[in-house]
Amino acid sequence: MILGGFFIFAVLVVIGVISLARTAARNRGEHVPRPSPVLSYDLERRVRALTDADRLLHAIKLIRQETTLGLKEAKPAAEAIAAGRPLSVSPGRPVSPLIGTLAGRARELKASGRFEQAVHLVRGETGMGQAEAAAFVNALESEADTA
């Protein structure tokens, strides 16, 4: 009888610890800065089609599903696309003219110190493997190098 009570107590303690760990992880995630809205050409095209059809909420949902952006970042991004305004990579800084090309977007990510995100972008849009995409990103020169 005592052994059964101890077992139930141990299970409840484990469940409590797991719950606290999940809550702590969720809370830590709220303080992690989200990446700037750099959308692929395909995603931007689909968002524009939705906003042209007066489906802004669906456009925001699509942005949130396909990026790591939250509602606070996805709504202004969808509204900017609908209005034909350029997205900003960082507050107050317009998107580079090269951002429309895959190489330009990967170059921007690499220049801002986000090499792994650049590799992920290249892999996602081309189907390259990890090594191929990393070699592609490594071969990109920054805009400062080409000037």
For residue 95, the one-letter residue type is: V
Tokens of residue 59, six digits: 């456009």
b (16+ CB within 10 A) / e for 42-80: ebbebbeebbeeeebebbbebbbebbebeeebbbebbeb
pLDDT attached to residue 29 = 56
DSSP state of 88: E
Domain extents in the chain? 36-95, 96-141
d(CA 28, CA 26): 5
pLDDT attached to residue 25 = 67
d(CA 69, CA 67): 5
pLDDT attached to residue 3 = 65
Going by C-beta distance under 8 Å and a sequence separation of 6 or more, which residues neighbour residue 114?
Answer: 35
d(CA 59, CA 52): 10
In a structure prediction context, what are the per-residue pLDDT tens digits for the chain, which is 147 residues long?
566 777 787 778 888 888 777 777 666 654 444 444 567 778 888 888 998 899 999 999 998 888 777 888 888 888 888 877 766 444 444 444 444 577 888 888 888 888 988 888 888 777 778 888 888 888 887 554 544
pLDDT attached to residue 55 = 93
